Structure 1
Amino acid sequence: MEFRQISAAERTAAMFPLQSYAFLPSPWPEEDEAAYRRRMVFFRTAINFVAEEGGTALAGAAALRMRQNVRGKVHDMAGVASVASHPSARRRGLVRGVLERLLRQARDEGHTVSALYPFRPSFYARFGYVGIPRHRTATFAPEGLDHLVRAELAGEVERLPMTDGFDEWQQLQQRLLGERHGFAVYDETRAAEFRGDKWWMAVARAGGEVVGAVPYRVGSYGGELEAENLLSTGPLGRALLLQFFARHVDQVARVRVKLDADDVPELWGTDFAVTTEAKVDHPRRGGPMVRVLDMPALTGSEAGDGDVTIEIPDDTLTGGLWRLVGEGGRLTVTKGTATPEATLTIGGLSALLYGVLDPTEVVLRGLGTVDGAAEGPLSSLFPRHMPYLCADF
């Protein structure tokens, strides 16, 4: 068995058969392979690994080059995708071998953190990943926002084809990357594929500044308006986009839009009827998972006051003793020398860093042991703070 890194040009021959069999109806028509080959121009910057036997790829995985805000610091992030294996090669540890090499290569190339959408969370938990919230979806009738139609808002919304609205949408995402914990974006190479998507783009502006944007499409007359993530810089941008949706009252019966886990659509109006849900099932709709790849690179993250030494055992990328110090609102991570006050898996440390679990929950989940003296400093260093990944990959 040979494990090797391959280029985007090699993906069609090596990875397309594995991915297509794993994720698409099959047998697949010849035009699917041709379409996949054309798309590889958008994967030129991805890190790709395969396990080959006799010159045939039996397992493969990729890491998309992304960037993510984690507690106020923007990191290079490896977005793991395209994980698949040949049915005859399953249960042989080939995916494990591919992922271990992929994550090490990503770390060596400067990626501090990693994220993925799992087919089975327990499988990726063995690689140090821990779950974070899936985006919410709000579904409502546009007439519920009638009060916004009558409102005089200090701004306007322009409807554009995706091609024309793409650049402003990307600029808004870059702004939010610097502001929102958990927010992630693709590199320019991968993002370029979405410019040609058959979606409308609603761009909200106020005072000449973009304050909101959302891709959307109308399924049918009297049907549903489906929108992607409702991105805005604040309440005005959100209100302008919702007002735009409300003006479809005589065209569609429902609006369905993706939201941050912290959004509360039930407060958008009085007597406003809305269904808000985060549906997670497997293997198709897993909630995202994350992990840390490089401990010292976390220095500079936002943190509360505290000083604690932890041990991360049995992780080839981050294992060892680490001293975590929070002072002046920032975190410093250095090699530890004192007796550890907490022993955490990398999944447990990642859960604290991303703000989804507190020290007690980490212990209850079997992600570590925390001495009583360490619980306070860890809680202070990493207060609960729900991340908004936003990107699907």
Structure 2
Amino acid sequence: MSDIRRVHGDERLGTAFTLYPYAFDATPSPGTDAELRALLPYHRDNHTLIAERDGRTVATASAFPAQQNLRGNVLPMAGIGWVATHPDARRQGHGSRLMHRLHAELLDSNHRLATLYPFHPAFYERFGYVGLPLNRTATFPPAALAPLLAVELPGQVTQQGIADGFATYRAFQHHLLTNRHGATYTADYRAARALDPADRWLATAVVDGTVVGVLPYRIDGYGGTLRADELLYTTALGRALLLRFLAAHTHQVSTVVITVPPDEYPEAWATGLTVRTEAETAFPTSPPLMARLLSMEALRGARCGPGQVEIEVVDDRLLAGRYRLDGTGGTLHLDTAAGTAKTATLTAAGLAGLAYGVLDPGEVVTRGLGEIPDDAAEELRTLLPRLTPHVFGKG
């Protein structure tokens, strides 16, 4: 049996970091101590656990602090990652023990939600996680947006290096956090991990002094591809300004590749736009994000529809129990329950699917994530209607 403990700072180098290169990089590699040490700032406030046996680290799991919007509530969220086990210690329960311990400690430190990118989704479903929709990539020639160049639009787009625009970019992300279901916001030390290379431009759309859209991007060469990160905007005008900015690159690049949320429709951006919009799921290389509730308190005060229902959450160490959900007044009230005719039995993954708006009650049942009588299903459909989470946010 291994011992589990938390590690901090430089102690990660001789423990958790000994597993990262083999698990997540091409190996064997000439990675140096200096290269690994350079990664420490991006793990500064991570909650890192290791499993040790005979003084050797055999498994690890970590999480970084973040925030996420769940149906209008901005809550402390933990981004779980770096779950790795040494090959000679796999299938011995180390990963499961680490996940249970990590969940408990994250809850103790007030985290209400957790997300992760799974290497093995069925494994994480057993720990209460449900898959969220993938963001899409839209690929098109910038000339297809040329009609926008002839349109007079109020406002302007400015361009600067991502390092110079970091504060603007982060402020806009934080604004989206408070207004968009599923939006995430990581700590600065994590966001800097993606931005420190300074290999991107930042296009910023401004109308009457207010930022209405941002777009980080880079160009891989003359006649090549403009590769944009997440298209972030608050208004249709903000999106139009950024798309018109992309159209201005018609004679510089041949292709634009841009990341958009699952419910964005690039084919409607311009008349006759030739575009390929796609998302590919593959494990472990391009998995959809998975998410779960660490506490039932994550639902308290969430925006909801009318309805009342009692649920029983089963097979979960953190959430097991009976609860009454009441949508009177448009925000969710939560109490313990004694039982009524409208009772749904849910796994933690089934509850997460309803809370994040990605599963209908009928889908919860057909996927084996719960048992929901018809009358309870109707209440849950109005109480927790389908929503598309916009899980954007570098870092």
Normalised by the size of structure 1, how large is the TM-score?
A: 0.97
Aligned residue in 2 for 1:363: 365
Which residues of 2 match residues 224-373 of structure 1 at below 5 A?
A: 224-339=225-340, 341-373=343-375
Deviation at 1:195, TM superposition (A): 4.2
Q: Give the direction of change, closer, same or farther, for the CA distance of 1:306–1:136 in structure 2 (3 Å limit).
A: same
CA apart distance, 1:392: 5.5
Separation of aligned partners in 2, 1:215 and 1:34: 29
The match for 1:375 is 377
Q: Which deviates more, 145-154 or 170-179? A: 145-154
371-380 or 283-292, which deviates more: 371-380
Q: C-alpha displacement at 1:297, in angstroms?
A: 3.5
Measure how far apart 1:36 and its partner are: 2.6
Alpha-carbon distance in 2 for matches of 1:333, 1:46: 31
Structure 2: give runs of 5+ residues left out of the alignment: none
2:195 and 2:118 map into 1 onto residues whose CA distance is 26
Aligned residue type for 1:125: E
Aligned position for 1:146? 146
Q: Secondary structure at the match of 1:239?
A: helix
Q: Tell me which amino acid in the other structure corresponds to 2:274.
A: A
CA drift of 1:30 comes to 3.4
Quick check: 2:312–2:321 contact (8 Å CA) kept in 1? Answer: yes
**Mapped partners of 2:9, 2:385: distance in 1:** 41
Paired amino acid for 1:388: H
1:39 Cα shift? 2.3
Q: Is the 8 A contact 1:8 1:46 kept in 2?
A: no
SS of aligned partner of 2:4:
strand
In the superposition, the TM-score normalised over structure 2's length comes to: 0.97
**Structure 1 contact 112–298 (Cα < 8 Å) conserved:** no
The answer on whether the counterparts of 2:218 and 2:227 sit within 8 Å (CA) in structure 1 is: yes
3-state SS of paired residue (1:228): strand
| Structure 2 equivalent of residue 16 of structure 1 | 17
Q: Distance in 2 between matches of 1:204 and 1:308?
A: 44
Output the aligned Cα RMSD: 1.2
Contact 1:296–1:334 (Cα < 8 Å) also in 2: no
Per-residue CA distance 1:283-331 (angstroms, 9 max, x = gap):
1100011101000232110011111111111210111111111111100
Letter in 2 for 1:4: R
Q: Percent identity?
A: 43
Aligned positions of 1:83-232 closer than 5 A? 83-197=83-197, 198-232=199-233
Could you say if the C-alpha distance between residues 64 and 333 of structure 1 is closer, same or farther in structure 2, counting changes exceeding 3 Å? same
Is the contact between residue 356 and residue 385 of structure 1 (CA under 8 Å) also seen in structure 2?
A: yes
Please give the secondary structure, in 2, of the residue aligned with 1:387. Answer: coil
Say if 2:61 is the partner of 1:36: no
SS of the residue corresponding to residue 315 of structure 1 reads: coil
Output the CA distance in 1 between the equivalents of 2:350 and 2:267.
Answer: 33
Deviates more, 1:149-158 or 1:356-365: 149-158
Equivalent residues of 2:191, 2:394 under 8 A apart? no
- Partners of 1:234 and 1:154 lie apart in 2 by 13
- Please report how far the alpha carbon of residue 151 of structure 1 lies from its aligned counterpart in structure 2 after TM superposition: 1.5
Structure-2 separation of matches of 1:287 and 1:20: 23
Instruction: Give ranges in structure 1 of 5+ residues lacking alignment.
Output: none
User: Which residue identity is paired with 2:177?
Assistant: L
Determine the structure 1 residue equivalent to 2:388: 386
Deviation at 1:20, TM superposition (A): 0.8
Q: Residues 340-391 of structure 1: CA distance to partner in whole angstroms, max 9, x if unpaired?
A: 7110001001100100111111100100001122111111111010101113
Instruction: Quote the Cα distance in structure 2 between the aligned partners of 1:319 and 1:95.
Output: 22
| C-alpha contact 2:172 2:214 (8 A) present in aligned 1 | yes
How far residue 136 of structure 1 moved from its aligned partner, in angstroms, is 0.6
Aligned mates of 2:28, 2:164 — CA distance in 1? 37
SS at match of 1:30: coil
State the distance in 2 between where 1:92 and 1:296 align: 33
Query: Aligned AA for 1:390?
Result: F
How far apart, CA to CA, are the structure 1 residues paired with 2:211 and 2:318? 40
